A and B are shown apart, each in its own frame.
Chain A
Amino acid sequence: MSWVQRLSYNIMKDLGAPMVMGLAAKAKKKRPAPIHTPFGPRLKCAARLKEIMTRHYFLARYAKGAKPVAWVTSGAPVELLRAFDFYTIYPENHGALCGAQRLGPEYCGIAEDHGYHQDLCSYARIDLGHALSGKTPVGKLPRPDLLFASNNICQTVLYWYRVLAHRLKIPLLLFDTPYNFKDIRREDIHYMVDQLKEMIPVLEKVSGNKFKEDTFSEVIHSAKDASLCWGQILETMQQRPAPMTIFDAFVHLAPIVSLRGLPVALQYYETLLAELKERIDQGIGAIRDERKRLMWDNIAIWYKVRDFSNLFAERGMNFVTATYTNAWAETSAHMDVERPFESMARTYGQVILNNNLNHRLFLMERLIKDYQVDGLVIHSAKSCKPYSVGQYDLKRILMERLEIPSVVIEADITDFRAFSEEQTRTRLEAFFETLEASF
């Protein structure tokens, strides 16, 4: 790593970033709260979240050369990389950000012009579009020294990161997590532990830093606390009225995805949790008149988060839980500083998408009961096959067992060319009618 770049990074970290954040805050015009709104007061923490994420992407511009840089998949055991002081970028988080800004088709189009099929995952196409053009709404992403992927969320990330490794000519580390067709087995754990240990020499070489087990344990400790705190945040939505909506949670999960294992993630979630508890004490709900409580299945439709948030809130319907946001809390109890490698294997080998559909069914049944859910909205995401294949069966079984009304929205996570406004509206209207009739 170059000392000039390290100096420049440190100056930006200590002086540049606070100055830019300060200027941005000053320049921001305060929007008056709308008089007629179905929503409760905004979360105060939202501004802090924006600051954290802006700072993360701002500093990323100066990270190259100052720190080893890795691009990482959302389900990879990043704790290991933190022990080597990697600056980590999450292309999926970047893809979501592009999607929310309705840039999906533009960036996907760049990848398509280079031969990548329009049927491929749109997170991958956005990322390849970025890699091929340098375009990004965050200014600049640092070129990685290493790619770190785990197929515990899908096999797609493996195909996608292979393309990046080929184009960028850098090493790809895969954490191969055997899919749990049934229960996880001892051999699966051994295999995953072996892989993590075999990664250490590569990480030492790329980062130039020696592995320290103490540091690794500290990171695991921090990641576990942040994940548990995130779980407590989600649990606050069991209250009536729920102090936040799942659309808020889609946004507030950014630190647990992108900054897991760093102190800032835990600090932020502690503040958010305190605010939510305060709202519960004061009976403040995320929406003013919470009449119906809903569950969301699958990744968000990022370009529709605001529209859907309004559409449902206007009808007194609040999303109080989601299988997606739960994913970063569900297995964190397995993290154990006494057995760092094995606990990483158990934590990351058992995430929702690495389990058979019955696991998801039981989880959904539990969430429906714990969060007193009245209806289910299923996003059938063209980009995400492991999340989507099986949803029709889950819908049918949940209806049979719990008589829970549900609707399937055929869409995509970021590419709104795969979204039909009219078809979705028709389906949702029918769903609303069913839901109202079920009073």
Chain B
Amino acid sequence: MTRSAYLRRQKQMGRHLFGVFPAQYPREIFWAMNTVPVEIWDPPLTTANANGHLQPYICSVVRSGLELILQDKTRILDGFLFPHTCDSIQNLASIVNDYLGIEIPCCFFYHPKAPFGKGSRDYYLSQLKFLTAQLEKLFGPMDPDAFKRRVDQGLNMQERLAKAYEMRRLGGLAVSNTSFYRNIRLAEYLHPDDFISGFETFLAVSKGENPKGPGIILSGILPHLEILRLLDQQGVRVVDDDLLNCNRRMPLSAGRAQDPYEILVENYFAMPPCPTRGSPIQERIDFMMDKVRSTDVQGVIFCGIKFCEPEWFDVPQMVAAAKDAGLKTLLLDLEVNQPLSGQLATRVEAFVEMIS
């Protein structure tokens, strides 16, 4: 079933739909409000209208997200959420809320930036409650029991995702890179009831020895489908990642508190290091090097998005650390949905030759 068909079905089932821009937000609160958060990362569109609002030096994630709205493909949604991820998304929120004249309500979510103090936890908690209040205005009061249930479900989902990553790392998943990320990324729009059951099946049928081949780590914002396909063709295994829309949103430890809000607070502060949360660069390097040490990788591919400041400031330090560890590195400056050019393919193939 296509994403749009699935979303229409959710709507028919009486669920609300919320378009969510990248990257960090508490999806459990939406679930508890009988709402499906639908993440907007890389809609496959040709950009035309967004250029009238955005300069040429704005990244393709923001550009394609705006294009989706301008092409009137978000009419099915009951609202938008703009987490405070970067300067471009911050201002995009204002453009959409104030100037497009659309009638879909916008909500905003500010998450604190590191270094975190005691005030950061209190503030994050207040932001969670503020988000709930914003949604309650739209959809009515949240049922505390449903909230508790959905937070538990979130933990359950995290557990399964972590298990999938571990199986892949240990060579126990017989799936292509393309298939792995296609399944992981279903979490961007599936209702948890559907995701968890579907993912269980995926893990069960995929159990098996991973085909051998040189291993790499992917770093960056999101996996690029064409690059994944090329890596599959070349017999390269992605053994782990440091991608913003995948592993960098999976808490390193599960929240143990009793109160569901407190669990969400624990989850946020247990997320892997990320520039969008202000984490020190050394923590990012350590996070990547831990992955290197626990696997048999030969190289790292940095899949940057053109004009993405949070990512590109960190890259030189991460490249240096990877090289110091004897790894080969490849830097790709991509647009989302960018077709694979001959030059790009040659660069990836040359990299694969080096690590093979």
Contacts and interface: CB of A to CB of B under 8 A. Distances in A.
A198 B118 contact: yes
Interface in A160-181: 160, 162-163, 165-166, 172-174, 176, 178-179, 181
A146 B238 CA distance: 39
B72 to A, nearest CB: 18
A390 to B, nearest CB: 5
Interface in A355-392: 356-358, 361, 380, 382, 385-386, 388-392
A358 to B, nearest CB: 5
B298 to A, nearest CB: 21
A114 interface: yes
A174 B278 contact: yes
A115 interface: yes
Contact of B119 (A172, A195, A361, A390): A195
Contacts of A179: 84, 90, 108, 110
B119 A198 contact: yes
Contacts of A187: 123, 126-127, 130
B122 interface: yes
Given A115-B315, A357-B95, A393-B99, A194 B117 contact: yes
A194 B118 contact: yes
Nearest to B307: A119
A191 B316 CA distance: 33
B113 interface: yes
Given A121-B309, A187-B126, A158 B94 contact: no
How extensive is the interface on chain A, given as a class?
Answer: 35 or more
A119 B306 contact: yes
Interface stretch (B52-60, B178-186, B192-200): B52-60
Contacts of B213: none
Main secondary structure of the interface of B (DSSP, over half): helix
A154 to B, nearest CB: 5
B338 interface: no
Contacts of B310: 155, 159
Contact of A159 (B54, B304, B309): B309
B92, B304, B317: which has the most chain A beta carbons within 10 Å?
Answer: B317
Contacts, number: 156
Interface in A105-158: 114-117, 119-121, 124, 151, 154-156, 158
A162 B278 contact: yes
A182 interface: yes
Contacts of A120: 309, 312-313
Nearest to B86: A155
B281 interface: yes
A296 B119 CA distance: 38
B55, B315, B317: which has the most chain A beta carbons within 10 Å?
Answer: B55
B93 interface: yes
Interface string A335-350: 0000000000000000
A380 B91 CA distance: 14
A357 B21 CA distance: 18
B110 A178 contact: yes
B312 A119 contact: yes
Interface in A306-365: 356-358, 361
A50 interface: no
Contact of A176 (B52, B278, B280, B316): B278
B223 interface: no
Nearest to A194: B119
Nearest to A178: B110
A235 interface: no
A141 to B, nearest CB: 20
Nearest to A173: B115
B216 to A, nearest CB: 19
Given A119-B57, A194-B119, A181 B282 contact: no
Contact of B316 (A114, A172, A380, A388): A114
Interface string B89-121: 011111101110000000010101111011110
B275 interface: yes
Interface in B71-97: 82, 84, 86-88, 90-95, 97
Interface string B312-326: 111111011000000
B108 A182 contact: yes
A195 B58 contact: no
Nearest to A111: B316
A120 B313 CA distance: 8
Given A154-B87, A194-B118, A389-B87, A116 B57 contact: no
A385 B58 contact: yes
B117 A380 contact: no
Given A162-B280, A162-B281, A393-B95, A410 B313 contact: no
Nearest to B109: A181
A390 B95 contact: yes
Interface string A178-192: 110110010100110
Given A119-B57, A191-B119, A191-B122, A163 B91 contact: no
19 contacts: A119-B307, A121-B309, A154-B87, A159-B275, A159-B313, A163-B281, A163-B313, A165-B280, A172-B280, A178-B84, A187-B123, A187-B127, A356-B94, A389-B54, A389-B58, A389-B87, A390-B99, A393-B53, A410-B55
Given A191-B126, A397-B99, 13 more contacts: A114-B316, A159-B313, A163-B313, A165-B281, A166-B317, A179-B84, A181-B94, A181-B97, A195-B119, A357-B98, A386-B90, A388-B55, A389-B58
Interface of B: 52-58, 82, 84, 86-88, 90-95, 97-99, 108, 110, 112-115, 117-120, 122-123, 126-127, 130, 275, 278, 280-282, 304, 306-307, 309-310, 312-317, 319-320, 333
- The 7 A-B residue pairs with the shortest CB-CB distance, nearest first, are A194-B119, A115-B316, A181-B108, A389-B91, A159-B313, A191-B123, A357-B94
